[in-house]
Amino acid sequence: MIAIGIQYNAKLQRLIKQVKRDIDATVMPEVRYYAPEYTQDAWSDGIQAAIDALLARWGSPAVRLVAQRMAEDFVRTSLTKSSRDMKRTAGIDVFTGSQQMQDYLKAATQQNVNLIMSIPNQYIDRVGTMVMANMRSGMRPKFIEKALQDEFGVTQRRARMIARDQTAKIQGELAEKQQTSAGFEYFEWIDSDDSRVRHRHRQIAERVTEYGKGVYRWDDLPLSDSGVPIKPGSDYQCRCTSRPVSAREVARFQARNNS
């Protein structure tokens, strides 16, 4: 799961760097042209025109096609890993051609296309707002360049979080769909066993239920701190996973505890 998230993030970071190059090549020349006092007529029109051109370029059908391919590759790779994990843990080859699974994969892909497209859109929007505000305040180009670099860092961190969050969510959702379609009613909640595990998630993983330690039914999920049913990977940036548990394993546990 970590490798998939790293690969996804690497692609998003390359995209952001391309946007930054465009910003540096179009917005900063306008800022320098109107410096040092920003007294020329209609300087805001020049800056807005540059921002509008960037938004149009990075919101174009060509860029959406790139985002589509990126999202499809991410979802397809996630499916392959989930199927491989199912084979390793349960010894079952999972059929992934059902209409339900295809609908899910299509929805997951489309959601990630939208997330990918939102990255340059929000980045450019924030750059436009920041540049306008600083020019109104009379800030020098060097200061604005530094502010642009800071905004670049913010966008990099947002993309990293998207990659982590979507990787965990899709892996968790695929695991549920593949396990239940293979007839597994139960799963074991497995945390990442490190200092970053949420306290509540560790409690869930260590709780002894009527089915076993950390074992739950897919139709009777544990609750979050706020009382909402949660699955491994469903919380924001949750890194927990699920192991399929057979009814026979549950029966053995219950027999030992009732004897």
Q: What is the C-alpha to C-alpha distance for residues 72 and 65, in angstroms, rounded to an integer?
A: 10
Q: How many CA atoms lie within 13 A of 57 on its CB side?
A: 14
Q: pLDDT tens per residue, the chain (259 residues)?
A: 578 999 999 999 999 999 999 999 999 998 888 776 666 667 888 899 999 999 999 999 999 999 999 999 999 999 998 888 888 887 777 777 788 889 999 999 999 999 999 999 999 999 999 999 988 888 888 999 999 999 999 999 999 999 999 999 999 999 999 999 889 999 999 998 888 889 999 999 999 999 999 999 999 999 998 889 999 988 887 889 999 999 999 999 999 988 6
Which residues are within 8 A (CB) of 171 and not within 5 positions of it... i.e. 6 or more apart?
1, 4, 78, 81, 82, 233, 241
242 φ, ψ to 5°?
Answer: -125, 145
* Residue 121: DSSP 8-state: H
C-alpha span between 39 and 223 (Å, rounded): 59
Burial class (CB in 10 A: 0-12, 13-18, 19+), 181: middle
pLDDT for position 39: 60
Q: Which two tokens stand for residue 252?
A: 């053995």
The tokens for 6 are: 């790293």
**CA atoms lying within 13 Å on the CB side of residue 70:** 24
Q: How far apart are CA 201 and CA 226, in angstroms?
A: 13
**Cβ 221 vs Cβ 215: under 8 Å:** no
Instruction: Give, in degrees to the nearest 5, the angle at Cα 41 between 36 and 44.
Output: 80
Assessment of whether the complete model's pTM goes beyond 0.85: yes
Cα 140–chain centre separation: 36
Q: Distance between CA atoms of 243 and 188, rounded to whole angstroms?
A: 5
Nearest-CA neighbor of 109 among 84, 74, 63, 82? 74
Q: Are 166 and 74 spatial neighbours (Cβ–Cβ below 8 Å)?
A: yes
Looking at the DSSP bridge assignments, the partners of residue 245 are 186
